[in-house]
């Protein structure tokens, strides 16, 4: 699945026409306020959907937060309103059906639905982290401080996520990069990763893997196009998928733009238009460093036990299972799944 720079329209049933909720303007993260709509919350819901938690037995699986606290997948909750719960339930039904059918069904999903599903996980974790940070600061009598650039990025993500409950049109270049790959893996396979500061996401389950940058205006797919073209439609060994994830996660760190969006509301519809990123002669990405990339790759390859020394034996050409000698796709990987 590739990004096409086309006008994308999404009009949900019974969409709201209320103003956009902007919690970062006044840091409105009250437990009584819906994290998505700003309406009164009626209950707390888990950020990770119940069907996923039950299906992959994640109830007691550890999830590490930014402050090093270890929670479980079920512990991470957000306050939600009736309309948010209803919209999320509809989204989950569609996503669950496609994900359980597998790769072909996932590639047929509306890309906006995929974005919304990934964004609601990532933003839900952000919301939990901000609430936790505010509680900690209050406990020691300090004012809550937050990076303005990060808050700006998170606020944009939240505005885009409100396409679940608002009539929304994305115009011009779409704000995200999403790529779905077929995998050789067992049905019980499940692996989730995200990096909140760079808004990059990966998921491995069933017979597919997804990697996405949620706010790069499609640049990741352009940056990695030479490798993606060589991969084509080949079915990936899990270590190959983890390698492409490492590439996306590292390049998200090198991405040196703070995307800006024109957001206008008129006649009950919100219009989101990405501003150009290439208004400077400076490259969109900082220089790729083989050793730093190798450190990222070592983390993604933990299951196979490769050390950093092995990975960057040749720092200019780190170890790769995706490409043979940096050229053609490697169709024969003799490693455990």
pLDDT score for 10: 35
The Cα angle at residue 212 between residues 185 and 97, in degrees rounded to 5: 55
**Model confidence over 267-313: pLDDT tens digits?**
889 999 999 997 778 899 999 999 999 999 999 999 999 999 999 99
Q: Please name which of 83, 81, 102 lies closest in space to residue 91, comparing C-alpha atoms.
A: 83
**pLDDT confidence of residue 1:** 38
Half-sphere exposure of 310 (CA within 13 A, CB side): 10
Q: How far apart are CA 294 and CA 273, in angstroms?
A: 36
For position 315, what pLDDT does the model report? 87
Sign of the C-alpha dihedral computed for residues 119, 205, 85 and 165 taken in this order: positive
Task: Note the pLDDT of residue 9.
Answer: 33
Query: Which pLDDT score is estimated for 66?
Result: 84
Q: Tokens for 230?
A: 């060589």
Helices and strands, counts by H and E, the chain: 11, 14
Which regions of the chain are under pLDDT 70?
1-18
Give me the pLDDT at residue 143, please: 79
Q: How far is CA 3 from the centre of its chain?
A: 15
Locate all alpha helices (DSSP H) within the chain, ordered by sequence.
Answer: 23-26, 50-55, 82-101, 103-107, 111-139, 148-161, 219-223, 225-231, 238-254, 290-300, 308-311
Q: Is the pTM of this model over 0.85?
A: yes
pLDDT at res. 18: 66
Quote the CA–CA distance of 217 and 235 in Å, as a whole number.
Answer: 27
Measured in Å, how far apart are the chain's first and last C-alpha atoms?
Answer: 24
Length of the chain: 337
Q: What is the pLDDT of residue 245?
A: 98
Work out whether strand 62-64 and strand 200-205 pair parallel, antiparallel, or are unpaired.
Answer: unpaired
Q: Which CA distances in Å does 281 have to 63, 173, 194, 335?
A: 41, 20, 30, 43
Domain parsing of the chain, residue ranges: 21-167, 172-337
pLDDT of residue 234: 96
Encoding tokens for residue 317?
């050409």
């Amino acid at each position: 699945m590739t990004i096409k720079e086309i006008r994308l329209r999404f009009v949900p049933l019974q969409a709201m026409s209320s103003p956009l909720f902007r919690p970062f303007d006044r840091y409105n993260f009250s437990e009584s306020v819906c994290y998505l709509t700003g309406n009164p919350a009626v209950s707390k819901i888990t950020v990770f959907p119940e069907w996923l938690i039950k299906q992959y037995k994640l109830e007691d699986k550890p999830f590490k937060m930014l402050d090093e606290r270890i929670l479980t997948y079920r512990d991470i909750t957000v306050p939600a309103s009736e309309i948010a719960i209803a919209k999320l339930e509809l989204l989950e039904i569609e996503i669950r059906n496609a994900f359980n059918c597998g790769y072909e069904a996932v590639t047929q999903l509306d890309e906006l639905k995929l974005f919304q599903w990934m964004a609601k996980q990532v933003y839900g974790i952000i919301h939990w982290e901000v609430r936790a940070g505010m509680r900690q600061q209050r406990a020691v009598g300090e004012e809550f401080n937050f990076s303005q650039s990060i808050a700006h990025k998170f606020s944009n993500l939240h505005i885009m996520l409100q396409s679940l409950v608002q009539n929304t049109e994305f115009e011009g270049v779409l704000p995200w990069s999403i790529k779905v790959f077929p995998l050789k893996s067992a049905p019980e396979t499940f692996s989730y990763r995200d990096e909140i500061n760079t808004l990059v996401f990966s998921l491995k389950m069933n017979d597919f893997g997804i990697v996405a940058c949620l706010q790069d205006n499609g640049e990741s797919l352009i940056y990695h196009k030479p490798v993606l073209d060589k991969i084509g439609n080949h079915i990936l060994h899990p270590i190959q998928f983890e390698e492409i994830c490492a590439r996306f996660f590292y390049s998200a760190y090198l991405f040196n733009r703070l995307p800006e969006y024109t957001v206008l509301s008129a006649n009950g519809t919100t219009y989101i238009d990405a501003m150009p990123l290439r208004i400077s002669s400076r490259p969109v990405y900082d220089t790729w460093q083989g050793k730093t990339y190798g450190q990222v790759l070592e983390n993604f390859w933990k299951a196979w036990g490769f050390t950093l020394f092995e990975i960057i034996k040749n720092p200019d050409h780190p170890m790769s299972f995706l490409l043979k000698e940096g050229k053609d796709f490697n169709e024969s990987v003799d490693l455990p799944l």
